[in-house]
Amino acid sequence: MAALRAAKQALRKELKKRVAAMSDQEKLRQSRVVSQKLFKHPKYLSSQRVAVFLSMHDEVRTEDLLQDIFKRGKVCFIPRYFSNSSHMDMLRLKDPEDIQNLSLTSWNIRQPGDEDAHSREEALATGGLDLILMPGLGFDKNGNRLGRGKGFYDTYLERCRKHQPEKPYTIAMAFKEQLCTEIPVDDRDFIIDEVLYEEE
């Protein structure tokens, strides 16, 4: 267990370095390529209820995605993280402008504050999710994912398994710099259905 943790920590450092070396233009360019792939993806096209992360500077940009989700009339959910645990909710976003009203967390991520959260629908309470678009620090081609170590998505996918008959399809959005030959994982790590990135 300790060895696995150490291996994950070392890989996180290495991946953060790799992504930090990318220019903003390159991040934006790859984000557009990956978004275009998603827009043509049959799972995305057929999904009605979609969860998407609000991107941080070291993740594939999701602004275009958010616009597209609303343009196609899908129902959009975004994460609300609880900083002192691995608990996360997926709360409904009304429209793209709604993002401006969200408070900033200490991690510099926008999410609904305590008051605001009560008035929003939580995905699992109202019918579950068809598709979850996943962030992460690193991925391999077998669908193994390296997160930031808090376990938010693994814990949430476990909850999905209990609350909805079919688990949501999961697609990771990645820069090619985030691809690894092999990600060290254990039984609690969920395998992602698909990783989208710009192929050479």
131, 65 in Cβ contact below 8 A? no
For residue 73, pLDDT beyond 90: yes
Q: Is 82 annotated as a binding residue?
A: no
Percent of the chain whose pLDDT exceeds 90 = 74
Write the CB contacts of 115 (distance below 8 Å, at least 6 apart in sequence).
none
Average pLDDT, the chain: 92
Query: Residue 166 corresponds to which amino acid?
Result: E
Rg (CA), the chain: 16
Please say if the pLDDT value at position 1 is more than 90.
no
Distance (Å, whole) CA 154 – CA 156: 5
| pLDDT tens, residue by residue, 95-147 | 988 888 888 777 778 888 877 788 899 999 999 999 999 999 999 999 999 99
**Any idea what the CATH number is for the domain that residue 69 is in?**
3.40.50.10420
Q: What is the pLDDT of residue 169?
A: 98
**Is 160's pLDDT higher than 80?**
yes
Is 145 flagged in the annotation as binding? yes
- Predicted TM-score (pTM) of the model is 0.94
How far apart (Å, rounded) are the C-alpha atoms in residues 20 and 122? 34
pLDDT of residue 150 exceeding 90: no
Distance CA 115, CA 33 (A): 37
Measured distance CA(190)–CA(143) in Å, rounded: 9
Report the distance separating Cα 69 and Cα 24, nearest Å: 24
Please compute the mean of the pLDDT values over residues 15-30 and round it to a whole number.
97
Question: 129 a known binding residue?
Answer: no
* Range(s) of the domain holding residue 55: 2-196
94 is in an annotated binding site: no
User: Considering its fold, how many domains does the chain have in total?
Assistant: 1
Q: Is residue 138 a known part of a binding site?
A: no
190 is known to lie in a ligand binding site: no
Q: Is 10 annotated among the ligand-binding residues?
A: yes
Q: What is the pLDDT of residue 96?
A: 86
Q: Is 43 exposed, middle or buried (0-12, 13-18, 19+ CB in 10 A)?
A: middle
Confidence of residue 70 (pLDDT cuts 50, 70, 90): very high
pLDDT band at residue 84 using 50, 70 and 90 as cut-offs: confident
Predicted local distance difference test score (pLDDT) of residue 42: 98
Nearest alpha-carbon partner for 198 in 179, 183, 182 = 179
pLDDT (0 to 100) of residue 112: 86
Question: Residue 118's pLDDT is what?
Answer: 82
Q: Taking 90 as the threshold, does the pLDDT of residue 157 lie above it?
A: yes
Task: Answer yes or no: is 12 a known binding residue.
Answer: yes
Instruction: Say if residue 27's pLDDT is above 90.
Output: yes
The answer to whether 128 is annotated as binding is: no
136 is known to lie in a ligand binding site: no
pLDDT of residue 200: 76
